[in-house]
Amino acid sequence: MKKILISTGGSGGHVIPAITMYDHFNENFEVTLITDSRGAKYIPKKKYNFKIIDTPKITKNIIYIPIIILKFIIAMFKSYLILKNNKIEYLISTGGYMSSPICIVSLFLKINIFLFEPNYILGRSNKFFLKFSRRIICYSNNIKNFPENYIKKIFVIESILRKDIYNFKNNQKKINNNDNFNILVIGGSQGADFFDKKLKKVFNEISSKKKIYLIQQISNKNIISELSEEYKKNNLNHELFFYDDEIYKKFKNIDFVITRSGASIISELIYFNIPFLAIPFPYAKDDHQFVNANYFFQKKLCWLIRQEDFEVNNLVKLIENLSTDKKEYFLLKESMKNFSYQNTWNNVNQKLIGLINEN
């Protein structure tokens, strides 16, 4: 049986696709999962066995350089032991600096390296290791900043979604409620302080004119009572929550979503055919959240605004228009459906298994 190691870490955007790949491969191959301390909190510990290797983050402060070098060497040594002891033949790296030590050791051990790029712009780590890899798994052939001479290494699949998501969509029964316009706010695995502060003005104004039901992710626990009281004063029916790794269970009966634009959450919303407005996190590395959202905006699959261009009145007007004149709304839903119709667990599974078996 072929032996695969999947390396991941950092945010939920890295970890969730990695554990989904684990599920795809686990029935056909012997799979090992490795992450860092940050990524470990996104992995269900009762379901997955994983090992932790922490990679030091590079800093420009020269005082810390000797410590960083020492920690990096330790990470490489741990990587070597895991690769050798588990007799790994294939490495799948989800990118990010946390995967660097294991990729470097894999080069020396002549292990087949496969990269995974869920964003629509090539990440820096993946760009560095691209020339050493066998293939890079992507959601499109049109990846920004991708070197032309390595374009043949791209292996395109549909967006990787957890098996529970397919099952949930297939079994959910949507209840039509013509009275409420149901809105969901998603700030990503880290939450969004900007959403906490700015969106309340939007919802308070809309609720004075139209009946809405709001489900909002909050990043700051200190404001939850204050925000809830403010919504109650405006007779706004609402539910506030923190990060939920099963966010898709809140999609039932949702009409519209305001979200950051990590690759995973956008893929899930399009799969469920839920119209959304993307407000990308402006400080994401390489501006990858904007690139992700803009890819779908150009295909007329979502609405998009930069955070610095956010205006309360414009968003109020958009939501009011969508909740009354639904022609544009349903055209977008139909486009989403056409875009994602080939995304099934079996389709993705066959492609991933075939990728390993052909190499």
Of 72-76, 142-146, 186-190, 315-319, the one with minimum mean pLDDT is: 186-190
Residue ranges of alpha helices (H) inside 113-174 are: 124-129, 163-171
- What's the order of all strands across the beta sheet hosting 181-186? 237-241, 212-217, 181-186, 256-259, 276-278, 303-304
Tens digits of per-residue pLDDT, 81-136? 999 999 999 999 998 888 899 999 999 999 999 999 999 999 999 999 999 999 99
Reported as type and span, the H/E element at residue 101 is: helix 100-108
Asked if the domains at 3-161+343-357 and 166-340 fall in one CATH topology, the answer is yes
Whether 68 has a pLDDT exceeding 90, the answer reads no
Percentage, residues of the chain above pLDDT 90:
69
What are the boundaries of each domain within the chain? 3-161+343-357, 166-340
CATH architecture of 3-161+343-357: 3-Layer(aba) Sandwich (3.40)
In DSSP notation, 292-344 reads: HHHHHHHTTSSEE--GGG--HHHHHHHHHHHHH--HHHHHHHHHHHHHHTT--
Question: Distance between CA 178 and CA 210 in Å, rounded?
Answer: 12
CB 140 within 8 A of CB 120: yes
Q: Percentage helix, strand, coil, to 5, in the chain?
A: 50, 15, 35
SS3 state of residue 212: strand
Domain 166-340 of CATH type 3.40.50.2000: yes
Reported as type and span, the H/E element at residue 357 is: helix 345-357
Whether 7 has a pLDDT exceeding 90, the answer reads yes
* Structure confidence at residue 191 (pLDDT): 57
* Structure confidence at residue 86 (pLDDT): 95
Tens digits of per-residue pLDDT, 175-220? 555 578 999 999 876 557 889 888 999 999 998 888 899 999 988 7
SS3 state of residue 77: helix
